Amino acid sequence: MNDYYMMLGILDPLYALFGWLVRILYDFFGNYGLAIIALTIIIRGLLIPLNVSSQKSMLKMQALSGKQAELQRKYGDDKEKLQEAMMELQKENGAGGLSGCLLPIIQLFLIWPIYRIVSGPLIYLSQISKDTVQAMIDLASASELISKVTTVTNHIGLIQVLNDNAEFFKECVDKGYISMSQMIDLHFLGIDLTLIPWNVIKENFLHPQTYLPLLVFPIVVLAINMLQMQLTKILKPGYKEEKEAKERAKQNPARAGQVQAENQAESTMKMMNWMMPFIMLFTTFTLPLAMGLYWIVGGIMAIITQLITYVLFTKPYEQKKAEAELRKEQVFKRKAAIETAGEAGGNSKGKNKKKK
């Protein structure tokens, strides 16, 4: 457990950096929601080169598919030599690399500091010390104004008490815990971004007007994730060829067993892919709305990046590939026509000799 808290302490400078950046953006825009949006754009913008690198690597891997098939035929069941040959092929052609794996890892890692900021704005935005925040939490707990499970790393309940209870706020000011200038507006478009949808629903289930506006965030997060998942599938290199190959395989009785195995694997992958949007839906329900806003803006930027990389890289690659296939087909047809003409000429000469 001590190692766990030591790890959290190591990450404190990262949390402080993100908090400082959000505070600068808040001072610039004068709006907490716009500060979160700007922070998301900055983070996702910095990840665009990694996105582009990942897409280029994917295209190079697609271009090497023919050579990889040759290696598979050459080495057969010798997996060790096949793996070495594959790695050497990728190294020579600048394919593969860590960019494809690195991007999702970085995105997952960045969720943690964002969560710490949106769940602890008094520390990271108002610059109130953790000890002081804990003292206010203890004071509110003693007065039964706040749940005792609230901690300095998640003090949304404390912010709500400070906003709703003037006497408690005055007591905290008198004790020197907080000043008027340290209370910042955490609303966006009239919605309090510190609210957690699930908590509001539980407390006001019979009053839907209090929580229906909050449901927009989880629903939009779900829709964006589903759209992003579909675009990832449709815009990937070789999607049309892969789809056509699967259709041809279904019509081939000799590949019935292989097709069944591929369908089972595909069904498992689809189920895992569909789980992710619903996991995001659940987490958006159970975290502050500011986290949902981060995911909405991040999802929109991810979709824009997908479309841009498709237009700039994938589409030209697909066009060049189609043109190369067309040239091969034309060469093959010309060669076949020449051979046919040669055979026809030979047959004609043979017939003439027989007549003589």
Into how many domains does the chain fold? 2
So what's the pLDDT on residue 207?
Answer: 83
Is residue 160 located within the same domain as residue 264? no
Compute CA distances 211 → 31, 199, 296, whole Å. 22, 10, 19
Q: Is the model's pTM score more than 0.85?
A: no
Residues 154 and 148: beta-carbon distance below 8 Å? no
d(Cα 288, Cα 125) in Å, to the nearest integer? 15
**pLDDT > 80? residue 290:** yes
d(Cα 235, Cα 315) in Å, to the nearest integer? 9
The 10s digit of each residue's pLDDT in 27-48 is 999 999 999 999 999 998 988 8
Is residue 197 located within the same domain as residue 303? yes
Place of tokens 């690597």: 57
Residues 196 and 286: beta-carbon distance below 8 Å? yes
Is residue 84 located within the same domain as residue 172? no
So what's the pLDDT on residue 6?
Answer: 44
Q: Quick one: CA torsion of 339, 341, 345, 347, rounded to 10 degrees?
A: 70
**pLDDT > 60? residue 238:** yes
**pLDDT > 70? residue 243:** no
Compute CA distances 18 → 162, 205, 221, whole Å. 24, 35, 23
In a domain, 341, yes or no: no
Q: What are phi and psi of 200, to 5 degrees?
A: -65, -40
What is the 8-class DSSP label of residue 295? H
In a domain, 293, yes or no: yes
| Closest-CA residue to 13 (of 129, 118, 102, 124) | 124
In a domain, 7, yes or no: yes
The 10s digit of each residue's pLDDT in 195-210 is 999 988 988 888 888 8
Amino acid at 331: V
Is residue 290 located within the same domain as residue 324? yes
Residues 309 and 55: beta-carbon distance below 8 Å? yes
Helices (H), 189-215: 197-203
Is residue 284 located within the same domain as residue 326? yes
E strands in the chain = 187-188, 191-192
In a domain, 294, yes or no: yes
Is residue 142 located within the same domain as residue 272? no
Give me 354's structure tokens: 């027989």
In a domain, 115, yes or no: yes
Give me 30's structure tokens: 């004068």
Is residue 101 located within the same domain as residue 40? yes
Is residue 111 located within the same domain as residue 223? yes
Q: Quick one: CA torsion of 28, 33, 37, 38, rounded to 10 degrees?
A: 10
The 10s digit of each residue's pLDDT in 77-117 is 666 766 776 676 566 655 555 555 777 788 888 888 899 89
In a domain, 50, yes or no: yes
Is residue 83 located within the same domain as residue 223? yes
Residues 195 and 289: beta-carbon distance below 8 Å? yes
Confidence of residue 73 (pLDDT cuts 50, 70, 90): low
So what's the pLDDT on residue 62?
Answer: 67
Containing structural domain, residue 155? 126-183
In a domain, 343, yes or no: no
Is residue 115 located within the same domain as residue 261? yes
Is residue 15 located within the same domain as residue 95? yes
In a domain, 80, yes or no: yes
Residues 200 and 213: beta-carbon distance below 8 Å? no
Q: Quick one: CA torsion of 111, 117, 120, 125, rounded to 10 degrees?
A: 180
Is residue 39 located within the same domain as residue 96? yes
So what's the pLDDT on residue 247?
Answer: 63
